[in-house]
């Protein structure tokens, strides 16, 4: 399907009264509609247990769009495409009613039998829903059928395999769209373009010129209302297994022979296969875990993780992870890729810093001082852009090198907000482009890497928890992880350097 084509489909959202649907899915569908990317030939069935009429459901959709988007208009037309079906997904008898509703809407909107099943529900229901969809004939369609699955995809490799087996009974691999919303972010998608469309970077993108890479995704928010889920997940499963490893795969992969879904995925898989697995004692050497204690954030006292709702007061769950990854292949041998992510940190920031190796000698002026290394910084969020830190002679200075920066701010170009990750991903799914969704092989490899770490962490209680104060950048051990290699974490705030 071409980029400007307007897809036609019936979208069934399971979990349509939940938080994700309200905050992300409805506003994203609205943006697509408003931009003319959805044809008039679409319909949405919202599915959840609570009884709602179509009118009540449409009012909910309207409210959620209005709260997310300031200048929303044309809402009546938009919400008229939404229908509601009250249904307990564990109740086998109610799928047939859903089927006849789907068929009516298919005819009414001429949807050509295209169906998207979006599972915005707790993962324990994913397998059951997929099996019922097949058993009751909802997947017997003339057009395409696609299953969109939210994270977490399993709790470990074993449970992920089980889940995959269940959903594969009803959908083939190329009909499954596993969401990793980081892959929908503008600047995450830009990693490939920065690397493969610039003659100045690709030749340097290897262990001869890069000394280390740092990927940070820090959050200011704590665990909020998600204690029940987070207690079983922790930062390793919640962020590292998916978003962090996906960013690493994009940074480290070889250029694909073509920009097709299969070729890109196959290169990412090779990176994940080349990641050095960690066993036993090595986990301690390469990974650091943390848990936030109380602290002060923007002048307000906040409570420790162990005091959050639905969290065990002796919890051993990590809210912070820092790690060193080694990709044992020809391009990356010897280059550490450091990752860190955590909650209740000093700033909300996702950033990638590529630190280049020092030049062999400093010819300039204060030769006893080393020059600042060249850095390429990819700002994923909240700001979006690229900064290149160079050394240059400042006017008036004689043969003296000073650090300067070249800045490209993505949002500064036309003042427009870049599309929400979910907006892109929904559109991609409707168009049948699975490039920015994770293939089963990537999921499996990520789990097998992460499982080794969680096995060790779960069998050894961390006595020092909580080990970082809310409002800081994590535990001291995370700094030591880099210090022992002769590096340090670059700050997530901009370096105080003059712009050229």
Ligand X SMILES: NC(=O)C1=CN([C@@H]2O[C@H](COP(=O)(O)OP(=O)(O)OC[C@H]3O[C@@H](n4cnc5c(N)ncnc54)[C@H](OP(=O)(O)O)[C@@H]3O)[C@@H](O)[C@H]2O)C=CC1
Q: Is 469 in the site for ligand LXAUTJHC (CB under 6 A)?
A: no
Out of 65, 79, 121, 275, the only residue in the binding site for ligand X (CB under 6 A) is: 121
- How many residues belong to the site for ligand X (CB under 6 A)? 18
Out of 150, 186, 192, 238, the only residue in the binding site for ligand LXAUTJHC (CB under 6 A) is: 238
Binding track, positions 283-302, relative to ligand LXAUTJHC; x by CB under 6 A:
--------------------
Rg (CA), the chain: 24
Which one of ligand X, ligand LXAUTJHC, none is in contact with 19 (Cβ closer than 5 to 8 A by kind)? ligand X
Q: Is 461 in the site for ligand X (CB under 6 A)?
A: no
- Nearest partner of 193 among 249, 242, 274, 251, judged by Cα: 251
For residues 216 and 238, give the distance between their C-alpha atoms in angstroms, rounded to a whole number. 15
For residues 27 and 13, give the distance between their C-alpha atoms in angstroms, rounded to a whole number. 14
Q: Is 219 in the site for ligand LXAUTJHC (CB under 6 A)?
A: yes
Q: How far apart are the first and last CA of the chain?
A: 42
Which one of ligand X, ligand LXAUTJHC, none is in contact with 123 (Cβ closer than 5 to 8 A by kind)? ligand X
Query: Which token pair is 133?
Result: 């969809």
Query: Which token pair is 49?
Result: 């247990």
Which one of ligand X, ligand LXAUTJHC, none is in contact with 219 (Cβ closer than 5 to 8 A by kind)? ligand LXAUTJHC
For residues 236 and 122, give the distance between their C-alpha atoms in angstroms, rounded to a whole number. 19
For residues 446 and 289, give the distance between their C-alpha atoms in angstroms, rounded to a whole number. 18
Out of 146, 151, 155, 344, the only residue in the binding site for ligand X (CB under 6 A) is: 151
List residues forming the annotated binding site for NADP(+). Answer: 15-22, 49, 88-89, 151
Identity of the residue, 154 or 474, whose beta carbon is nearer to ligand X in the bound complex: 154
Contacts of 459 (CB under 8 A, 6+ apart): none
Q: How many CB atoms lie within 10 A of CB 425?
A: 24
Pair 369, 362: CB distance under 8 Å: yes
Q: What are phi and psi of 32, to 5 degrees?
A: -60, -40
- Nearest partner of 40 among 110, 131, 130, judged by Cα: 110
Binding track, positions 303-342, relative to ligand LXAUTJHC; x by CB under 6 A:
----------------------------------------
> Does 243 qualify as catalytic in the annotation?
yes
Q: Is 186 in the site for ligand LXAUTJHC (CB under 6 A)?
A: no
Q: Is 348 in the site for ligand X (CB under 6 A)?
A: no
For residues 459 and 456, give the distance between their C-alpha atoms in angstroms, rounded to a whole number. 5
CB of 350 to ligand LXAUTJHC, least distance (A): 6
Identity of the residue, 182 or 468, whose beta carbon is nearer to ligand X in the bound complex: 182
- Measured between alpha carbons, how far is residue 278 from residues 27, 214, 281, 285, 451 in Å? 41, 19, 8, 9, 10
Q: Is 48 in the site for ligand X (CB under 6 A)?
A: yes
CA 172 to chain centroid:
23
Contacts of 258 (CB under 8 A, 6+ apart): none
Which one of ligand X, ligand LXAUTJHC, none is in contact with 18 (Cβ closer than 5 to 8 A by kind)? ligand X
- How many residues belong to the site for ligand LXAUTJHC (CB under 6 A)? 5
Catalytic annotation, residues: 243
Which residues bind to ligand X, rule: CB under 6 A? 15-20, 48-50, 88-90, 120-123, 150-151
Which residues bind to ligand LXAUTJHC, rule: CB under 6 A? 217, 219, 238-239, 350
């Amino acid at each position: 399907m071409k980029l400007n084509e307007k897809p036609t489909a019936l979208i069934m959202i399971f979990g349509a009264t939940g938080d994700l649907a309200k905050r992300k899915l409805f506003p994203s569908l609205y943006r697509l509609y408003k931009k003319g990317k959805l044809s008039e030939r679409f319909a949405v069935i919202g599915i959840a247990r609570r009884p709602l009429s179509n009118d009540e459901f449409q009012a909910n959709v309207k409210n959620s769009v209005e709260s997310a988007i300031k200048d929303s208009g044309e809402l009546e037309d938009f919400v008229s495409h939404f229908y509601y079906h009250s249904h307990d997904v564990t109740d086998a008898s109610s799928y047939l009613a859903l089927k006849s509703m789907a068929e009516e809407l298919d005819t009414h909107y001429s949807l050509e039998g295209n169906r998207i099943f979006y599972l915005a529900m707790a993962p324990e229901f994913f397998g059951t829903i997929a099996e019922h969809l097949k058993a009751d004939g909802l997947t017997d369609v003339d057009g395409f059928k696609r299953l969109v699955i939210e994270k977490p995809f399993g709790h470990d490799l074993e449970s992920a395999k089980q889940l995959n087996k269940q959903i594969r009974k009803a959908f083939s691999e190329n009909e499954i769209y596993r969401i990793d919303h980081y892959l929908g972010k503008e600047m995450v998608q830009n990693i490939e373009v920065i690397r493969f469309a610039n003659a100045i970077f690709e030749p340097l993108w290897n262990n001869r010129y890069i000394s280390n890479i740092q990927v940070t995704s820090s959050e200011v928010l704590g665990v909020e209302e998600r204690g029940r889920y987070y207690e079983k997940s922790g930062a390793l499963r919640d962020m590292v297994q998916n978003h962090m490893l996906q960013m690493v795969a994009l940074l480290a992969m070889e250029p694909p022979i073509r920009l097709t879904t299969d070729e890109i995925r196959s290169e990412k898989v090779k990176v994940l296969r080349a990641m050095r697995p960690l066993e036993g004692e090595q986990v301690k050497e390469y990974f650091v875990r943390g848990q936030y204690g109380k602290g002060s954030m923007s002048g307000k006292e906040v409570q420790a993780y162990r005091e959050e709702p639905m969290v065990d007061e002796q919890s051993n769950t990590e809210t912070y992870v820092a790690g060193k990854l080694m990709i044992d292949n020809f391009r990356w041998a010897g280059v550490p890729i450091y990752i860190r992510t955590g909650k209740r940190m000093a700033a909300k920031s996702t950033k990638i810093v590529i630190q280049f190796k020092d030049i062999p000698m400093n010819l300039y002026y204060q030769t006893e001082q080393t020059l600042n290394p060249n850095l390429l910084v990819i700002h994923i969020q909240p700001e979006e852009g690229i900064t290149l830190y160079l050394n240059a002679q400042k006017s008036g200075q004689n043969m003296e090198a000073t650090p300067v920066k070249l800045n490209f701010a993505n949002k500064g170009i036309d003042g427009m907000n870049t599309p929400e990750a979910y907006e892109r991903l929904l559109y991609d799914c409707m168009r049948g482009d699975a490039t920015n969704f994770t293939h089963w092989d990537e999921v499996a490899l990520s789990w097998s890497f992460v499982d080794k770490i969680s096995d060790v962490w779960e069998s050894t209680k961390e006595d020092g928890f909580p080990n970082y104060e809310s409002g800081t950048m994590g535990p001291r051990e995370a700094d030591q992880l880099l210090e022992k290699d002769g590096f340090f974490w670059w700050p997530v705030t901009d370096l105080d350097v003059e712009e050229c």
